[in-house]
């Protein structure tokens, strides 16, 4: 599959009253056409800021460096006008809370048609027919009627479907979804997961899913990036991450959640401690304070292991089938 | 068997709101909790699960008298709490405490951790010696895994998980016999949730607390509970022993909830995706379905379900279910 997005050495910094916070510290990854990539991390891991930087949507006190090439064109170098031509048309983004992302004063019709008319130069009737078709695709019942309603007349799950339908309107090549199911009930989560799973099969659209919940993406991702304190600690296929996790943080995350498919009354294997403050990062490995396998070496920056099939782990522990890359110059640490 | 410490009978909470224009004002009623009954023993944990709008948080608050129930009784150690005067109820609260969902928002940002934990002592034991209060506070901090030398720090200096530990210490400082936890871990990071769940479980064992654990996360609830109540639109559809519920749920809704939980295993998750689960959304609480409250979404509904409301009844196993078809459905997971 051809390459769609190539991110290299992306850094995101925020100027705060307490000092400069490096929210993302040198992330590199690739995404091919039609691929579903999940970026998993806890709060403060930098997962959302990473995509906000790519989309040119950082807050005022934020700045980014590095490259993010979308079909060979660097999004980071684009003018706001050029970016506007990409966002919505080629890359669509949906957010966690569907209520706050929809305008409560406008009907769904108005909000959907505006996007299409802006990007695709369709007539109002054509745009409307297209919008109804998309609502039907995300299984909104009775879309001809419901398109005339306001967001508050929709349930939470239906609003998130509308957001997805809006994202799909211009048939983007990439859909970025930031915690698309977190605010929803389990039964509705399952419906949205199934919907995304179908879109993934039926279209050639690539998807980036950002989430704190590993379980939520098990079924629908091809590859997974696990982030911790602004860095990717492990990258691998869904099978690699779930069945053969290499990094102690990934292992810890998987072991710490109670599971419905396994019976256990034992104590959960919690990861001790708390995620680090990005202003006071430990030297060397950022996870070492909480790691059950920490060693003397971990005071140094850990090497990046890479295998031939693109699997990566940043740790002193050797990675199965991997070798240490020498391209990875030790970054100066933020501490 | 010993006598239950808590007995809730036919508890109901109805919220009334006004709707319509100025000239057509109408009252409409929302039955948030609609006739809930259960018993709880010392040292036992009852999990309460349900989707948002199922009434689980309202139930928690109504048991403590934080919301006035419209009907029913809450008996604590044989005494009816619903009829108590404000001051008597306040005194009872020494024994009945609650931990809230958002650990940061539920702590006063202008008070130190020590003051937050000690505050219930000041209110209930105004004559307690300063030194004694201090000692008790430090002891509580140690018990929940905080460092006693953090006693003078403010909430913003703690992480989310630590704030929840402060909340737990505060709720336990009066030596309660019943602790109600309303989504105590859902606002926490995944790596921290397990710490707090382990802490609650060990504290409960150590102190012999009766625990009501309200949550939407079925995996977490299973881990911590002895019995689980499944709520839907204010009603209990099933109250079963944990092992029974998660192996063979009696109610189609319990079954659907369980099948909706994401499994952290790609192959298994894809294999199970064949199964069909719940379609549609919960009906509007203002337009409650007739008959069984769940029939509009139930794949197993028959004619009878649309007309008759099934009562919560006891099965041979000792578990409770409100479904006409409980005997002839096999919903084994």
Q: What is the pLDDT of residue A335?
A: 35
Q: Does A274 sit within 8 Å of B162, measured CB to CB?
A: yes
Q: Is the pLDDT of residue A332 over 50?
A: no
Distance from CA of B112 to the nearest CA of A (A): 20
Domain presence at residue B275: yes
Residues A61, A42 share a domain: yes
For A158-167, A257-266, A289-298, B180-189, which range has the lowest pLDDT when averaged over its residues? A257-266
A95 in any annotated domain = no
A177, A256: one domain: yes
A185 and A157 inside one domain:
no
Query: Is B100 within the bounds of a domain?
Result: no
Alpha-carbon distance of A22 to A20, in angstroms, equals 6
Is some CB atom of chain B closer than 8 A to the CB atom of A289? no
Number of domains in chain A: 2
* pLDDT over 70 at B276, yes or no: no
pLDDT for A175 equals 94
Structure token digits, residue B256: 């659907």
Of A215, A268, A270, the CB nearest to B262: A215
The gap from C-alpha B85 to its chain's centroid, in whole angstroms, comes to: 25
Stretch A136-144: mean pLDDT: 86
In this model, does residue A333 exceed pLDDT 60? Answer: no
Residue range A72-90: average pLDDT?
A: 93
Instruction: Compare all CA atoms of chain B with the CA of A273 and give the residue at the minimum distance.
Output: B192
A80, part of any domain: yes
Into how many domains does chain B fold?
Answer: 1
A151 and A180 share a domain? no
Q: How far is B86 from chain A (nearest CA, A)?
A: 36
Q: How many CB pairs under 8 A join A and B?
A: 133
Using a CB–CB cutoff of 8 Å, tell me whether A267 touches chain B.
yes
Q: Tell me which of A115, A146, A169 is where a domain ends.
A: A169
Residue A42 with chain B: CB contacts under 8 Å: 189-191
State the virtual CA torsion across B82, B84, B89, B91 in degrees, nearest 10: -140
Asked whether residue A282 falls in the same domain as residue A199, the answer is yes
HEC assignment per residue over chain B: CCCCCEEEEEEEEEEEEEECCCCCCEEEEEEEEEEEEEEECCCCEEEEECCCCCCHHHHHHHHCCCCCCCEEEEEECCEECCCCCHHHHHHHCCCEEEECCCCCCCCCCCCCHHHHHHHHHHHHCCCCCHHHHHHHHHHHHHHCCCCHHHCCCCHHHCCHHHHHHHHHHHHHCCCCCEEEEECCCCCCCHHHHHHHHHHHHHHHHHHCCEEEEEECCHHHHHHHCCEEEEEECCEEEEEEEHHHHHHCCCCHHHHHHHHHCCCCCHHHHHHHCCCCCCCCCCCCCCCCCCCCCCHHHCCCCCHHHHHCCCCCEECCCCCEECCCCCCCCCCCC
Residue A310 domain boundaries: 3-90+170-324
Q: Is B311 exposed, middle or buried (0-12, 13-18, 19+ CB in 10 A)?
A: exposed
Q: Is A79 on the interface with B (CB under 8 A)?
A: no
ipTM comes to 0.84
CATH number of the structural domain spanning residue A32 = 3.40.50.300
Helix locations, chain A, DSSP H: 47-54, 80-86, 98-101, 108-120, 124-137, 143-146, 156-168, 186-202, 214-218, 238-243, 248-256
Same domain, A183 and A265: yes
A136: in domain = yes
Of the partner residues A194, A256, A261, the one whose CB lies closest to the CB of residue B265: A261
Do A190 and B257 make contact, defined as CB atoms within 8 angstroms? no
My answer on whether A136 and A247 are in the same domain is no
What share of chain A in percent tops pLDDT 90?
58
- Taking an 8 Å cut-off on Cβ atoms, the answer to whether A219 and B220 are in contact is no
Its domain, for residue B70, covers 6-95+176-321
- Chain centroid to Cα B172, Å, comes to 17
The reply to whether A69 and A136 lie within a common domain is no
Contacts of residue A212 in chain B, CB cutoff 8 Å? Answer: 189-190
pLDDT, average across residues A272-283: 88
Q: Answer whether residue B70 is part of any domain.
A: yes
Domain for residue B78, yes or no? yes
Residue A125 and residue A209 in one domain: no
Kindly state whether residues A280 and A186 are assigned to the same domain.
yes
Contact yes or no for B269 and A219 at CB 8 A: yes
Q: What is the CATH number of the domain that holds B26?
A: 3.40.50.300
Interface probe, candidates B144, B183, B195, B264, chain A, greatest A C-beta count within 10 A: B264
> In this structure, are A144 and A260 located in the same domain?
no
Same domain, A161 and A26: no
Residue A258 contacts B where some CB pair is shorter than 8 Å: yes
Could you tell me if residue A330 is inside a domain?
A: no
């Amino acid at each position: 599959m051809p390459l769609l997005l190539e991110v290299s050495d992306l850094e995101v910094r925020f100027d705060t009253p307490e000092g400069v916070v490096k929210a993302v510290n040198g992330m590199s990854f690739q995404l091919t056409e039609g691929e579903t990539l999940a970026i998993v991390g806890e709060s403060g891991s930098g997962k959302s800021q990473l995509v906000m930087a790519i989309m040119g949507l950082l807050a005022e006190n934020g700045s980014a460096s590095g490259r993010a090439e979308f079909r060979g064109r660097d999004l980071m170098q684009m003018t706001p006008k050029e970016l506007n031509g990409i966002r919505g048309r080629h890359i669509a983004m949906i957010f966690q809370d569907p209520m706050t992302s929809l305008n409560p004063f406008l009907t769904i019709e108005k909000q959907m048609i505006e996007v299409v008319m802006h990007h695709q130069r369709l007539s109002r009737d054509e745009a409307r027919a297209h919008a109804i078709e998309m609502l039907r695709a995300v299984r909104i019942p009775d879309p001809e009627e419901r398109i005339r309603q306001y967001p508050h007349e929709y349930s939470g799950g239906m609003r998130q479907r509308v957001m997805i339908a809006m994202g799909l309107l211009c048939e983007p090549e990439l859909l970025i979804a930031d915690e698309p199911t977190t605010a929803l009930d389990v039964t509705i989560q399952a419906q949205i997961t199934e919907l995304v799973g179908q879109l993934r099969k039926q279209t050639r659209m690539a998807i980036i899913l950002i989430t704190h919940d590993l379980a939520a993406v098990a079924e629908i991702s091809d590859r997974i990036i696990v982030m911790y304190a602004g860095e990717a600690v492990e990258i691998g296929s869904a099978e690699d991450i779930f069945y053969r996790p290499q990094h102690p943080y990934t292992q810890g995350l998987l072991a710490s959640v109670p599971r419905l498919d396994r019976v256990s009354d034992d104590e959960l294997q919690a990861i001790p401690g708390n995620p680090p403050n990005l202003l006071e990062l430990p030297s060397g490995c950022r996870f070492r304070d909480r790691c059950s396998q920490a060693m003397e070496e971990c005071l140094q920056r850990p090497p990046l292991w890479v295998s031939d099939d693109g699997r990566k782990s940043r740790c002193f522990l050797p990675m199965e089938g991997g070798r240490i890359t020498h391209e990875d110059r030790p970054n100066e640490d933020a501490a | 068997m010993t006598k239950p410490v808590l007995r809730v009978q036919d508890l109901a909470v109805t919220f009334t709101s006004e709707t319509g224009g100025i000239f057509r004002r109408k009252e409409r009623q929302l039955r948030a909790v609609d006739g809930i009954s259960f018993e709880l023993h010392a040292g036992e944990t009852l999990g309460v699960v349900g989707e948002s709008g199922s009434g689980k948080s309202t139930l928690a608050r109504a048991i403590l008298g934080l919301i006035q129930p419209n009907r029913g009784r809450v008996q604590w150690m044989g005494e009816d709490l619903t009829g108590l005067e404000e001051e008597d109820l306040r005194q009872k609260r020494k024994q009945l405490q609650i931990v809230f969902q958002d650990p940061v928002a539920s702590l006063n940002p202008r008070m130190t951790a020590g003051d937050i934990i000690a505050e219930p002592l000041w209110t209930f034991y105004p004559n307690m010696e300063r030194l004694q209060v201090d000692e008790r506070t430090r002891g509580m901090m140690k018990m929940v895994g905080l460092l006693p030398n953090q006693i003078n720090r403010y909430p913003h200096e703690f992480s989310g998980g630590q704030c929840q530990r402060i909340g737990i210490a505060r709720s336990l400082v009066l030596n309660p016999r019943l602790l109600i936890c309303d989504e105590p871990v859902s606002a926490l990071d995944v790596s921290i949730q397990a710490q707090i769940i382990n802490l609650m479980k060990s504290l409960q064992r150590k102190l012999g607390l009766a625990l009501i654990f309200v949550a939407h996360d079925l995996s977490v609830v299973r881990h911590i509970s002895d019995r689980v109540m499944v709520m839907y639109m204010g009603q209990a559809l099933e109250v079963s022993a944990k092992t029974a519920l998660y192996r063979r749920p009696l109610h189609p809704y319990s079954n659907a909830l369980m099948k909706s939980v994401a499994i952290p295993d790609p192959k298994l998750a894809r294999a199970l995706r064949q199964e069909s689960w719940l379609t549609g959304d919960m009906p509007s609480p203002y337009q409650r379905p007739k008959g069984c409250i769940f029939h509009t979404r139930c794949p197993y509904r028959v004619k009878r379900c649309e007309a008759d409301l099934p009562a919560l009844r006891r099965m041979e196993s000792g578990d409770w279910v409100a479904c006409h078809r409980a005997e002839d459905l096999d919903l084994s997971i």
